[in-house]
Amino acid sequence: MDQSERKKKFGSSFNVDSNNRLNFMPPEFDEPTARQYYADKLANYKEVLLSKEVASFTAYCPRTVTSWVNEKKLRAIILPERYIVPKEYLINFLVSDYYNKSIIKKSQKHFTVLWEIYNIFKAEKR
């Protein structure tokens, strides 16, 4: 089954990485847990991030970050020849349905983070 057939059958709930490993989405996504997770991870960053820092944090390329801003998926402050993203805007984007459900080809880091958030949420429910 090729990638397009997999997408039709399973949607964006999984991905095949460059090493042909399957990456599945966790069964639940809890926004408050995710917000706290990202706030903790971004605690040592400045209040405003450059697009290349957003790219590094998310493990997506800078061109993808620029695309998110241009498509108005990620709010940013547009300066001459650069975008800057306040932490609050970035966290709002990282917990959005677009970022977590609409991106079909997620980075390995994206899958890893989603599972970390899910495991924290599951542990808190006990």
Rounded CA-CA distance 84/88 in Å is 12
Q: What is the mean pLDDT of the chain?
A: 85
What lies within 8 Å, CB to CB, of 9 at 6+ separation is: 1
Percent of the chain with pLDDT over 70: 81
- pTM value is 0.81
pLDDT tens per residue across span 25-77 = 777 889 999 999 999 999 999 999 999 999 999 999 999 999 999 999 999 99
Q: Where are the domains of the chain?
A: 42-126
The SS3 call for residue 6 is: helix
Rounded CA-CA distance 95/105 in Å is 17
Percent of the chain with pLDDT over 90: 61
Residue 13 pLDDT: 52
Task: State the average pLDDT over residues 71-95.
Answer: 95
The CATH class, in words, for 42-126 is mainly alpha
Residue 10 pLDDT: 46
